[in-house]
Chain A
Amino acid sequence: MINHAKAAKAFLRNEKRTDWHDQALWFVRQKRDRAVNQLPEWEQLRETASQIKGATLSKLAHHLLEFERQALQNGVYVHWANDAEDFNRCVLKIIRKHNATKVVKSKSMLTEECHLNPFLECEGIEVVDTDLGERIIQFRNEPPSHIVLPAIHLKKEEIGELFHVKLGTEAGASDPTYLTHAACAHLREKFLQAEVAITGVNFAVAETGAVVVCTNEGNADMGVNAAKVQIHCMGIEKVIPRTADLAVFTRMLARSATGQAVTTYTSHYLKPVPGKEMHVIIVDNGRTDILKKPQFLNSLKCIRCGACMNTCPVYRRSGGHSYGSTIPGPIGSILAPGSDLKQYRDLPFASSLCGSCSNVCPVKINIHEQLYSWRQEVSSARLLRTGKSITMSVMAKILSNSSHYQAVGLIARRLLARLPRKMIYNSFNVWGLGRELPEPPASSFNQWYRQNRKNTKL
């Protein structure tokens, strides 16, 4: 079971580094603010985007079938996968069919979710992540800490050291331009050798069968256009009905994600080059379970822009890895409990419920309300941490009885005023670890009122 508070504590041990992490992400949030403020119609766009996604989800089977029909007509192979295992096997089958051993992959959170890389590696296939950030964490053998900025938790010196070992860059070199170019030279060779290219999917257009992938580095196109076989992996929620809808989403995605007006490349794959093969794999892996739950189905609207992470004051100060889920941060905290409530029971509580995530979300997912709802689910499933549930039962008892409440309040204030400091500030007093308790006043407001206002209304 994930213990977010504990992981966050470890992250916070190096306060300077936490500040650096916080500021790096806040900087992205500020860039996002500037970019969205260039569009006076931003709020209307959010509403529209949310509407499109909502309408699509409400007739998901219809739109998926339409997409499939168009894609088949375009000469694309369409596959369906129930779960991660199904999906991994499906990818492997395609690779095996072509006797391939060298695979390049551009960013895809779905393949992370299904742990495709380790699966393929076990089968003797070389998978190279080609997004720079992804490559860095692949070298380090760790999961991404952010869905758009996978290596945001690392300092350039650490990456310099890593590249020195893995790529033979100069020892001590940490200039981002130098390191980036070194990695790109290394990856260019991989592109030229690759037999199969795998990508994620940002949008799949039902009307035309187009698969749309957005990148800044150009790695999706380098991979796909160099390899003989291209495989695009999408969750069932990636389908959108019309080409016109693409305009709405492409206007919002990059602005929300990095503060760019649009990603450098917005690529539309419809048909394979004659003699090559194009595959699309449509994956469920728990998504239909979310679709079943009315209070949570909006989370399927997510376009994976990462804005909710950048704005989250908790994420910025606890780091992506503290969530222990493929997708971290606010959206991860409402997706993960849907897949395994017990494992991720902590995540809905890893939030102050400030609501900034819901405000920033381009598709208007009510993230903080879902966090609140997931808390109720955790409690209903009797999965609350024991401390929490006992405290709450006691509190509920006290607060539903006025005289008990006043009596307990009085005792607490008296104790606080009279007990020696050592007895108050001990390890059981979690509040007191970093904060003083309030100074107890002589009387409560209630007592004051009884003494100072005559014609009391009861």
Chain B
Amino acid sequence: MKARETILNRIKGIGLASIQLQELELKQTDAGNYLPEFIVSLRNAGAEVVQLAEHENASDFVKENFPGTISFESIESWKKYGSGSTLSMLDKLESVFIEGQIAVAENGAIWVSDRWFPNRIIPFITRRLILKISVNDLVPTMHQAYTRIDWSELSYGVFIAGPSKTADIEQSLVIGAHGPKSLTVLI
């Protein structure tokens, strides 16, 4: 506790003139069509994009095209990979399907929180991640995205933009670092 008081007192002792925090001007954005921009952003971030037609069901699509994928729309998966699961079990996850909540057109980021999958490590430990996002949840920039998050309930959430990557060796981009090696987004 001592350090706490020392630091706070030191700050207060300086007595800086207070500067008013300005209100952020949020440009009013109307319901434009952000889909093309979103798709470009996703591709730039290294994600694969699949646009589903209105009548197509995402789960069926995943079952057909990515057999063996664990979908967290199903209760069984929740049970299996819930609190009882071990890391070595989770480490065997090859492909995972999760529902995204908000998507950002300017950068391809998709918001997921741990209310939509049973263990926080799942979207990272899996080799392939498949995210579903509805066009209705598409916003132009991070400004709108942050206003849509319900913070009262949240304990952990992450924006994901593309598969994990690194360019730490001579600036050459390598897709697939500690997180998934591929990200597929179903719109």
Contact = CB atoms under 8 A, between A and B. Distances in A.
Contacts of A251: 106-107, 141-143
B156 A61 contact: no
Interface size class of B (residues with CB under 8 A): 35 or more
Contact of B166 (A59, A217, A225, A226): A217
B158 A221 contact: yes
Nearest to A106: B178
A221 B107 contact: no
B69 to A, nearest CB: 19
Interface string B102-141: 0010111100000000011101110000000000000001
A291 interface: yes
A58 B168 contact: no
A184 interface: yes
Nearest to B158: A267
B171 A55 contact: no
Contacts of B21: 51-52, 55-56, 241-242
B17 interface: yes
B169 A265 contact: no
B3 A82 contact: yes
B112 to A, nearest CB: 11
B163 interface: yes
A55 B20 contact: yes
Given A216-B165, A245-B24, A268 B154 contact: yes
A402 interface: no
Contacts of B124: 218, 221-222, 225
A207 B147 CA distance: 13
Nearest to A213: B158
B11 A61 contact: yes
Interface stretch (A117-125, A126-134, A422-430): A126-134
Interface in A166-223: 176-177, 179-181, 184, 187-188, 191-192, 207-208, 210, 216-219, 221-222
B41 interface: yes
Given A82-B6, A177-B174, A221 B179 contact: yes
Interface string B139-175: 0011101110101001111111111111111111010
Nearest to A272: B155
A339 interface: no
Contacts of B121: 221-222, 225-226
A151 B166 CA distance: 12
A150 B141 contact: no
B88 interface: yes
Contact of A179 (B20, B143, B169): B169
A282 interface: yes
B9 to A, nearest CB: 8
Interface stretch (A95-103, A256-264, A388-396): A256-264
Interface of B: 1, 3-4, 6-8, 10-12, 14, 16-22, 24, 26, 41, 44-45, 83, 87-88, 91, 104, 106-109, 119-121, 123-125, 141-143, 145-147, 149, 151, 154-172, 174, 176-180
11 contacts: A24-B171, A27-B171, A82-B6, A132-B169, A156-B172, A216-B166, A221-B120, A247-B24, A247-B142, A262-B109, A288-B7
